[in-house]
Amino acid sequence: MSQKVAQPKGQEAKKAQLTAAEATLSPVLQRCNGVHSVKAAVSTCDYDLEPHFLPISYGLFDQTSVSSRISSIPVLNLSNRERLTNRYKQLSDRALFRIASSCRSLYNLTLQLSHISTSDMMDLSRQKLRRQVIADGIKALAPTVCSLDLDTQTSNDFSFVDIKSSANDNFSKSLWDISTRLDRLEMTNTALPLDFWFPESEYRKDSTSPHWPDLFAIYCYRDPALRFIHSNIIPQLPDNSRDAFDLMDTFFVSLGHAAQRVPWLATISYGLGMIHPTEFLWTRDDHGRRDVEAEAYWCFPCNYIPSEKVAAAWGFRLADIVTKPGQVPNWKAAFEPRIYGALHCYCTVFPEGIQLSSLSVIDRWTSGAAGVSRRRMVRHLECTIQIKYYQAGDDITHPNISSIQKINDDGYKSAVAALFDVLKTWDNSCRVALQLCVEYSYTRAEPQTKYSTLGTCSTANAGFMLPNTTIPDVQCITKLDIGADQSPRDQLYSVSMETQMEVAQHCTRLNEVCVPFLNEGLSGTPESHYDKQRRAFANGLRNLSPSLWVFRVWEDDGKLSGLSRHLSGEEDPLATNMGLMSLRLRHLKLYRARLPLDFLFPLDTSSDPIHSSRHWPNLEVLENDQAPHVTNAVSTGERELIYAGMLNNSTSPPPRTRETFDRLFISSGYAARQMPRLATLDYTTGSGSFSGKYSIFKFSNDQATRTVTATWTSTTGYKPDERVAKAWGFRLSDMTITYDGASATSKIELSPWLPAPI
């Protein structure tokens, strides 16, 4: 494959090689189709053709175009092997990017651009043109690229970059844009403005949304701007009299504000690679799988001490910097609030016991004199419970659902008990948001194999011994989010509502809780199975901590949206207890919850209010999103087809009557008038997005302007009647109605919101 070419003898040789280069490059890339990883080196030397190494012996592709798109190369490494003395043999930057951009399924790209001479480096117009070529090349890369390793070979072009601001640098803008979709970025010999990561104009907007949702690793080596600031060699900076430390502050303020918006950030490493090492390193191990101490420090021989602006950007106190005579400052203590602010642990349950290695790491981090102080730093703790003895086969039937769920309950409670044994010594000065997730493992018979995160496992065995399942009380958990499974088959065997609510009851200072109510099932599963879960949920509501003020529940009934529901007038413990619990809440958020439409304020069969003394003194936000149908229409045979994916029940839902909507808004109107602090009330009802038929109700109480509005938007033409107007306290003649062709909107401005007698 490799060919030797004559040594170029000047610019005349360039044009002579273009035709041969075009003929060689395209076949080489076409032969890469199907190759997992391609490494192409530009050289005049001969190489043996290896499976993952394709040498390209031609250079000077300035005018060459790649005639076809390469679709199946996921990993590409392009580098110039020739040094500056043989720069005529190098592949140009434009050609390198042309090759890379032709790979449309690329996800991992390594680029080492061409070396440049000192004379070219001192030519301002050439430098600007080169940076524009690189900027255009980055823009042309495939959107699939998620890892980029870029060496621009520009160790001294800092003098042609405004190192204070990236506002007028297209190269910086292109690199920043692609960084927002990467999960790993490595840069070498790349001159960037000091505010590259987060310009001052951005962080002054006080935006809290993450700009880098997937980025977890940032590496930068031999940054020219930082190198010369460190050495105090600033012959061509925009302001020669400006102190170098102020410029360092600019860099770290920008990096700090960016780091606050990278939710999965694990590593930042900036190294200048000089004779005297200058390095900034920030790392953390948030999965707790390895016994690695998280650390963050600056190592500057010049003993750089940042300003308060840097501390504010990173979220630490300057007083926490550890300094020792004769040593560089150690910033680990200053960064500990961010390092330990969010932790992730695993607890794996086997038939023969529990693996506690991950919990033991967290216990060690938070024990002892130093560890006790770290407990107050922990704000978010995610615990994944891996249950490795759960088994589901294709021939599963209802009789063994309960037995398998009982085993999973015991394993789940054992894992939570182990976690709470670690947390029970944390005092009430700690405020932890705990998220519990569950992963199951099961085997399936061939040929219907199915992927499982945890692989295969032994069959369920009710006779195994687990550690203590008594869950202790904890004071440090103020927010609890009980995660749910996405697989319907997993939901069938997931831990019961009784166990989930038991966990919540042992959080004695709980302020906020999010609970999933799972209702997936198989054909033949009796209604008693779902009723048992519903009753357990209802009973658990009565025993939650009195400190609770935010309650969120979402009901995942999936495709089985037609299962029977309790109608108004029937005894429903869940609706009763939910209504009573709401009296002490500030926020109540329901998603697809199967509750009677008048659960807050009961109505009789004629939609008239039943005398009630209910009063919500603290409720500010009430949301009920995608309230499902009230029907018994789905038969056992239809359930089987729905589960098998052969029938979508939502294609022919039973129609909602006007009385159904009226009943909802009459009840909510009487209830809302007993909520003096109510600011937002949102309802989304109807048959769903599949048919485009819906009804949306929004209530807003703006305390600043003292304006109260209620708005109904419906694609079915629904408008409030006299009974709804009476419940909300307005006259129909005052309501304005508008049409936009697809929906009708009814709007009314109400009097300032005060409790009204019923």
Give yes or no for a contact between 70 and 30, defined as CB atoms under 8 angstroms apart.
yes
Both tokens of 340, joined, read 């330990």
Tell me the pLDDT of the chain averaged across its residues.
70
Got the DSSP string for 634-653? --HHHHHHHHTTS--GGGSP
Percent of the chain with pLDDT over 70: 58
**Rounded Cα distance, 373 and 608, in Å:** 58
Between 96 and 549, residue with greater pLDDT: 549
Return the pLDDT at 240.
35
**What does the pLDDT average to over 380-402?**
69
| Bond prior to 447 in cis (omega within 30° of 0) | yes
**Rounded Cα distance, 630 and 682, in Å:** 19
**What does the pLDDT average to over 247-258?**
83
Instruction: Check whether 609 has a pLDDT greater than 90.
Output: no
Q: Which has the minimum average pLDDT: 245-259, 503-517, 555-569, 673-687?
A: 555-569
Q: Burial, 18: exposed, middle or buried (Cβ in 10 Å; 0-12, 13-18, 19+)?
A: middle
Residue 488, classed as helix, strand or coil, is helix
**Rounded Cα distance, 642 and 637, in Å:** 9
Instruction: Check whether 583 has a pLDDT greater than 70.
Output: yes
Instruction: Check whether 682 has a pLDDT greater than 80.
Output: yes
Got the DSSP string for 386-405? EE-S----TT--GGGHHHHH
Residue ranges of the domains in the chain? 589-630+637-758
Percent of the chain with pLDDT over 90: 17
170-197 pLDDT tens trace: 888 899 999 999 999 998 888 788 888 8
| Closest listed residue to residue 223, CA positions, set 189, 262, 267 | 189
If pLDDT is split at 50, 70 and 90, which confidence band does 35 have?
very low
690-716 pLDDT tens trace: 445 677 899 998 877 888 999 998 887
**Rounded Cα distance, 697 and 662, in Å:** 12
**Rounded Cα distance, 82 and 421, in Å:** 61
**Rounded Cα distance, 43 and 83, in Å:** 10
Both tokens of 334, joined, read 């200053």
Between 596 and 5, residue with greater pLDDT: 596
**Which residue type, as a one-letter code, is found at position 629?**
H
Give yes or no for a contact between 187 and 220, defined as CB atoms under 8 angstroms apart.
yes
Return the pLDDT at 547.
94
**Rounded Cα distance, 603 and 225, in Å:** 72
φ, ψ for residue 671, nearest 5 deg: -70, -45
**Rounded Cα distance, 36 and 40, in Å:** 13
Instruction: Check whether 476 has a pLDDT greater than 60.
Output: yes
